[in-house]
Amino acid sequence: MIRTIGVNTWVWTSPLTDEALAELAPRIAAMGFGAIELPIESVGDWDAGRARDLLLSLGLQPVVIGAMGPGRSLIDRAGNVPLTQEYLRACLGAARTVGASVVAGPFYAPTGATWRMSAEERNEVVAQLRRNLRPLVQEAEEAGLTLGVEPLNRYETSVINTVEQGLEALGPIFGPGLGLALDTYHLNIEEKRPDDAVRAAAGNIAHVQVCGSDRGAVGDDHTDWPGMLAALDDAGYDGILGLESFTGENATIAVAASVWRPLAESQDALAERSIAHLRALQSA
């Protein structure tokens, strides 16, 4: 199956601004990417109408990415739920304007917030998550959008680490407005067999992010990429493959993503090698 390959602007910069997007989007299109992931770290960082016009002129398909910073949570103990719902509504609004069909991210707790839970406590957390996510899912569906909730590794969250946990927690409210956003970096850490985890999510995959197992370039790592793409085929996923990595040159994002060393000789090289490897695999 031939899928559109995209890339996240976090590969080069944070936060995304109108000026940064105007500089990056033409480069991204020139590299051969067909899609672009647009993070919203703070509402208003970039103008969705301006972005829509730019991306249309370049033939880039947008995906909106939510950033769960401190205080953003759909679970009471981890943040302010009403403000988080307001933020996610703004993300949905930006997606409608820019022409994206998916808004993806770990929409349950701040990235990096972890705590121990008993079985009873986890049941309550899951109940809160469903309750607080449900109106957003309905709004997304009514707007023709899909929210993709991303499992993160154990060092970044204690709420949803695996596909199985995502299916158990969110299965009752899955539908056109909600699915899972899978990231090969987290799959590599948390799943016993990432390909089997992908197959288990069949029918419920809203978006897929890819990168090397070290957060570097696709193909420079130990991931079984032919097996991963075969699993996505089996799962019936025909959406975008979004390359997500991070620049260590930005202090804020380097700390947030634990990027302590260069992951390639340059960020352009990381992107270019990744798309070349994925293209070669898809054309094999």
The residue-averaged pLDDT of 184-201 equals 98
What local confidence, expressed as pLDDT, does residue 256 receive? 82
% pLDDT > 90, the chain: 95
What local confidence, expressed as pLDDT, does residue 100 receive? 98
- Distance, CA of 8 to CA of 39 (rounded, Å): 8
pLDDT tens-place string over residues 127-160: 999 999 999 999 999 999 999 999 999 999 999 9
For CA atoms 277, 278, 283, 284, give the dihedral sign: positive
**Which one is predicted more confidently, 224 or 253?**
224
Specify whether the backbone of 236 is left (phi greater than 0), alpha (psi in -120 to 50) or beta: left
What local confidence, expressed as pLDDT, does residue 93 receive? 98
Cβ 212 vs Cβ 218: under 8 Å: yes
| Confidence tier at 255 by pLDDT (50, 70, 90) | confident
Of 172-181, 192-201, 209-218, 258-267, the range with the lowest mean pLDDT is 258-267
For CA atoms 275, 277, 281, 284, give the dihedral sign: positive
Is 5-283 a CATH 3.40.47.10 domain?
no
Angle at 7 between CA 5 and CA 10, to 5 degrees: 170
The strand pairing partners of 80, in sequence order, are 72
pLDDT tens-place string over residues 111-131: 999 999 999 999 999 999 999
Q: Which helix (H) or strand (E) holds 37?
A: strand 35-40
Cβ 215 vs Cβ 257: under 8 Å: yes
Q: Distance of alpha carbon 265 from its chain centroid, rounded?
A: 24
For CA atoms 198, 143, 138, 65, give the dihedral sign: positive
Cβ partners under 8 Å of residue 169, min gap 6: 126, 129, 130, 159, 160
pLDDT(10) > 80 = yes
Strands (E) located in 102-171: 102-105, 146-149
pLDDT(252) > 80 = no
Comparing CA positions, the residue from 41, 35, 50 lying closest to residue 70 is 41
What local confidence, expressed as pLDDT, does residue 253 receive? 82
For residue 210, give the amino acid letter. V
| Cα pseudo-dihedral 33, 103, 235, 73, rounded to 10 | 130
The residue-averaged pLDDT of 175-191 equals 98
- Distance, CA of 74 to CA of 126 (rounded, Å): 10
The residue-averaged pLDDT of 217-225 equals 97
pTM score, whole prediction:
0.97
pLDDT(168) > 90 = yes
